[in-house]
Structure 1
Amino acid sequence: MDAVRQGPEAERITDFWQRLGLPGLIDVHTHFMPENVLAKVWAYFDAAGPLIGREWGITYREDEAERLAVLRGFGVRAFTAMLYPHKAGMAQWLNEWGADFAARTPDCLHTATFFAEPGAGRYVAEALDAGARVFKAHLQVGGYDPTDPLLDEVWGELAERGVPVVTHCGSGPAPGKHTGPGPIGEVMARHPSLRLIVAHLGLPEYAEFLDLAAAHPEVYLDTTMAFTEFTERLTPFPPALRPRLLDLQDRILLGTDYPNIPYPYEHALESLAGLGLGDDWLRAVCYRNAARLFGI
């Protein structure tokens, strides 16, 4: 990454969190994964694949060491390695990689994942025993039903241990067979103590996922890509719902999708500030809520 280009952005982002009196940022939705897997993800974005359907440039297309350096330069004190399988037989291997990455990257929250397949309960328990602190479930890419009996043990184990799971369960950017508030809502009805983090604020079903969070005190929402110009063009957040973001101030978490974003990282922060919900809200969202949730 061009140091001249990154320097000013890092300075502006630092000014942002210092002005709020924060020690930095916590980003609960960043992607680090095996290089061969990431290359395929980037190729999918480059081709504007069917789940995207529009041009999507990767702003931070650098090697792993540089991507880490850039994120740390922004003042991100803790982040995740959002891994997700698109088919059976991948998750356990990804979890092994995630454990190794966390061991050599102490500021990364040890991240794991799963798929609806035989043995999922076993390898999720193994990942938890190995120290996994957050999981990723991607219902759109994985194409599985979260209510599948193969996952009963998984959800139960995560609920019992209080480990959050960041879940892409909204129907954006394209609906899947098992996306939307219905399927994951059934999971929450069965496991009300599950710490569910709804990725992307559940776009485009913003109101419905705000309802889910209001009904379940362990449901959180992350801000990944929400409110940005890129997202607002097609799936704008209704201004009438903004007061509900204040109602749920303690359960909204900063997420960005770094490095797979088609705009600078600072734009995500500017978009949050532009909501006009106040500095206390920004402090909670950008650091304090995640610090409390993950014991940072």
Structure 2
Amino acid sequence: MGTNHDIRGPRTDAEVPGFWRGLGLPGLIDVHVHFMPPRLMDAVWEYFEEPGPLIGHAWPIHYRLPEDERLARLRALGVRAFTSLAYPHRPGMAESLNEWTAGFAARVPESVPTGTFFPEPGVDGYVRRALDGGTRIFKVHLQVGGFDPRDPLLDPVWGTLAEAGVPALVHAGSGPVANGFTGPGPFGEVLARHPGLTAIVAHLGAPEFEGFLALADRHEGVHLDTTMAFTRFAGGLGEFPPALLPRLRDLGLEGRILLGTDFPNIPYAYAHQLEVLAELDFGDDWLRTVCWEAAAKLMDLQPG
């Protein structure tokens, strides 16, 4: 496959299948998709649309639809594999969320079995049980959870994930609202202690893009997802520095940048994320790797 620049990014959701077909792909893999128990999903949507203090501004949900309709939208777009990211905001939630997401993956073939955790007694045990049950990625939300990734209760969990080679998708950046545990410093210390850990930093680490790209330079297991980056909805995530674009291109070609969107919790059409990635003009090989190949390799996905 060449590196031509003929593929135009889709401007509408109806154009998305033509986009990935034009790249010669069988579809898309999206590592940053949210499915949760209905009551929790509704609560998250209310929080976004109020908006709550961790959001700070209006954030209308473009795909505020029943679960079956959200699944139909993803399938129509050609998203062949996606996560079901759920996350706790207090102790005592994570294990039940893992049970729900396991059930979701069992009934939704495209769903990558997804887990989560919180610093609490017994966390290593339920993470191990989730791994034994087939979980292939874990969501960690330092901003919403408000916890320190260096918490001693989590040290064995990071070690377990590193040994298993199962990635943690971590919201470690300070956007849209910082707390004392976000930014590249705290999670960087986790990586220094567990250098074999495979991680996906959400939102390209926004707004601390430079710091998280530096972590990727130091740790070959660090990946980043594109969620909301470069879109015309700033959302408190900051503007990606132009000087870092060459490094982003190189990391993408190395398989270290993965497509993420935040579906359904986005204030614009799904196509817009793909449109702005194509506008970077990094070439079709970059788009192929980001939209399919990197995630397929990282999680050993062979969706039909």
TM-score category by the smaller chain? over 0.9
Q: Across the two proteins, how many residue pairs are aligned to each other?
A: 289
- Structure 2 unaligned regions, length at least 5: 1-10
Higher helix share: 1
Q: Deviations over 1:235-294 (max 9, x none)?
A: 111111100012211100000000000000000000101111111111100101001111
SS at match of 2:234: helix
Match of residue 39 from structure 2: 36
Match of residue 295 from structure 1: 300
- Structure 1 unaligned regions, length at least 5: 1-7
Match of 1:258 among 246, 260, 263: 263
SS at match of 1:77: strand
* Displacement after TM superposition at 1:108 (Å): 0.3
> CA 1:135 to 1:239, structure 2 compared with 1: closer, same or farther past 3 Å?
same
Is the Cα–Cα contact under 8 Å of residues 13 and 269 in structure 2 kept in the other structure?
A: no
2: CA distance, partners of 1:247 / 1:18: 24
Match of 1:80 among 79, 83, 91: 83
AA of the residue aligned to 1:272:
L
SS at match of 2:80: strand
Match of residue 128 from structure 2: 125
AA of the residue aligned to 1:25:
L
* Displacement after TM superposition at 1:10 (Å): 4.0
2: CA distance, partners of 1:233 / 1:115: 25
Q: Deviations over 1:194-216 (max 9, x none)?
A: 11100000000001100000110
Match of residue 3 from structure 1: none
Alignment TM-score, normalising by the size of structure 1 = 0.96
Match of residue 157 from structure 2: 154
Q: Deviations over 1:143-196 (max 9, x none)?
A: 110000000111011000000110000000010110000000000001111111
**Percent identity of paired positions between Structure 1 and Structure 2:** 62
AA of the residue aligned to 1:81:
S
1:220 partnered with 2:223: yes
Match of 1:108 among 105, 108, 111: 111
Is the Cα–Cα contact under 8 Å of residues 226 and 232 in structure 1 kept in the other structure?
A: no
AA of the residue aligned to 1:148:
D
1:275 partnered with 2:285: no
2: CA distance, partners of 1:274 / 1:238: 15
Q: Deviations over 1:81-127 (max 9, x none)?
A: 00100000000000000110010011100000000111100000000
Match of residue 166 from structure 1: 169
1: CA distance, partners of 2:231 / 2:153: 36
* Displacement after TM superposition at 1:231 (Å): 2.2
Match of residue 186 from structure 1: 189
SS at match of 1:229: coil
Match of 1:143 among 146, 153, 178: 146
> CA 1:75 to 1:146, structure 2 compared with 1: closer, same or farther past 3 Å?
same
* Displacement after TM superposition at 1:11 (Å): 3.0
Match of residue 59 from structure 1: 62
> CA 1:232 to 1:98, structure 2 compared with 1: closer, same or farther past 3 Å?
closer
* Displacement after TM superposition at 1:234 (Å): 6.2
AA of the residue aligned to 1:111:
T
Aligned Cα root-mean-square deviation (Å): 1.1
Greater RCO structure (CA 8 Å; 6+ sep): 2
